[in-house]
């Protein structure tokens, strides 16, 4: 824990001063120069600090911008998505979530509940599998072919009798997701649960999130899912517009 604290302190020093040498950093930390040098080496290897050319001082690296950008993006989506998801939840009466991709999972970062979903479970903050959720299928359908192949090459866990674990069958469904503009699941993650989801895009067209509508199968019946999918795609398009897509 002490090393982590010191590493964070190094980043704070560089953020405050712009540039600093090993001697300056060691002095502020109250450690030997060799300790400061090791800390800087680890941070440099991860791209969080970089050496300024010519005079051996250190500054914040591009890795910090990457982390900050990811955090800001999630914050922006969460904030901009509130009115969009709230309106959709009020209109449909179901639970609406905004999820973002996180390696091999979809993570729900915002949730709005409709009048019919008073007793619905809380999905906020949950990591859910890509192959068994509507948001996850959206991310699989829109990721690069190489990355999708990597995901589908893994063992796909079966959560219910209806979970699709055959990669070939799942690929066929992902093609349909692209064609129709939304993904569906029907009792694939949990018995009795159905959902639809549509992609949210950033200014450059990259899929950065998904809006989903979920509820019990006796309300989200198979014949109702296409209409819900189209409406969810409309809400996702509105959030995409708020994120700069189409301008």
DSSP secondary structure, the chain, as one string = -HHHHHHHHHHHHHHHHS-B-HHHHHHHHTS-HHHHHHHHHHHHHTTSEEEPTTT--EEE-HHHHHHHHHHHHHHHHHHHHHHHHHHHHHHH-SEEEEEEEETTEEEEEEEE--GGGTTPPP-TT-EEESTTSHHHHHHHHHS-HHHHHHHHTSPPPP-STT----HHHHHHHHHHHHHHS-EEEESSSSTTEEEEEEEEE-TTS-EEEEEEEEEETTTS-TTTHHHHHHHHHHHHHHHHHHTTTT-
Which CATH number is 115's domain given? 3.30.450.40
Number of domains in the chain: 2
Same structural domain, 106 and 36: no
| Residues spanned by the domain of 21 | 1-73
Q: Which of 73, 94, 111 is the last residue of a domain?
A: 73
Residue 140's pLDDT is: 97
Domain boundary among 48, 73, 98: 73
Is residue 178 domain-shared with residue 160, that is, in the same domain? yes
Question: Distance of CA 89 to CAs 7, 81, 147, 169, 201, Å?
Answer: 43, 12, 32, 31, 20
Give pLDDT, residue 92: 93
> What is the pLDDT tens value at each position of the chain, 247 positions in all?
677 788 888 888 888 877 888 888 888 888 888 888 888 888 888 888 888 766 678 888 777 666 665 665 565 787 888 899 999 999 999 999 999 998 889 999 889 888 876 555 677 778 899 999 999 999 999 999 999 999 999 999 999 999 999 999 999 999 999 999 999 999 999 999 999 999 999 888 899 999 999 999 999 999 999 999 999 999 999 999 888 887 5
57, burial (CB in 10 Å: exposed 0-12, middle 13-18, buried 19+): middle
pTM of the model: 0.70
Domain end residue (candidates: 73, 97, 112): 73
Instruction: Tell whether 148 and 85 lie within a shared domain.
Output: yes
- Domain match, 15 and 131 both: no
Check whether residue 153 and residue 38 sit in a common domain.
Answer: no
pLDDT of residue 38: 87
For residue 230, the model assigns a pLDDT of: 96
Q: What is the pLDDT of residue 163?
A: 96
In this structure, the answer to whether residues 183 and 210 fall within a common structural domain is yes
């Amino acid at each position: 824990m002490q090393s982590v604290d010191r590493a964070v302190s190094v980043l704070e020093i560089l953020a405050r001063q712009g540039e600093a040498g090993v001697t300056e950093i060691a002095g502020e930390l109250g450690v030997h120069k060799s300790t400061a040098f090791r800390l800087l080496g680890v941070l440099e290897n991860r791209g969080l600090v970089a050496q300024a050319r010519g005079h051996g001082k250190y500054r914040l690296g591009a890795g910090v911008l990457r982390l900050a950008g990811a955090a800001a993006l999630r914050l922006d989506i969460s904030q901009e998505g509130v009115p969009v998801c709230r309106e959709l939840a009020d209109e449909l009466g179901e639970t609406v979530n905004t999820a973002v991709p996180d390696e091999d999972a979809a993570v729900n970062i915002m949730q709005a509940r409709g009048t019919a979903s008073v007793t619905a479970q809380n999905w906020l903050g949950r990591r859910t599998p890509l192959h068994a959720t509507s948001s996850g299928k959206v991310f699989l359908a829109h990721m690069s072919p190489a990355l999708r192949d990597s995901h589908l090459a893994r063992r796909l866990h079966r959560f219910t009798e209806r979970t699709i674990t055959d990669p070939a069958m799942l690929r066929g469904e992902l093609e349909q997701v692209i064609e129709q503009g939304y993904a569906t699941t029907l009792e694939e993650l949990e018995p009795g649960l159905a959902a639809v989801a549509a992609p949210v895009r950033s200014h450059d067209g990259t899929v950065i999130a998904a809006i989903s509508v979920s509820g019990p199968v006796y309300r989200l019946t198979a014949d109702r899912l296409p209409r819900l999918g189209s409406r969810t795609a409309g809400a996702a398009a509105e959030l995409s517009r708020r994120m700069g897509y189409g301008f």
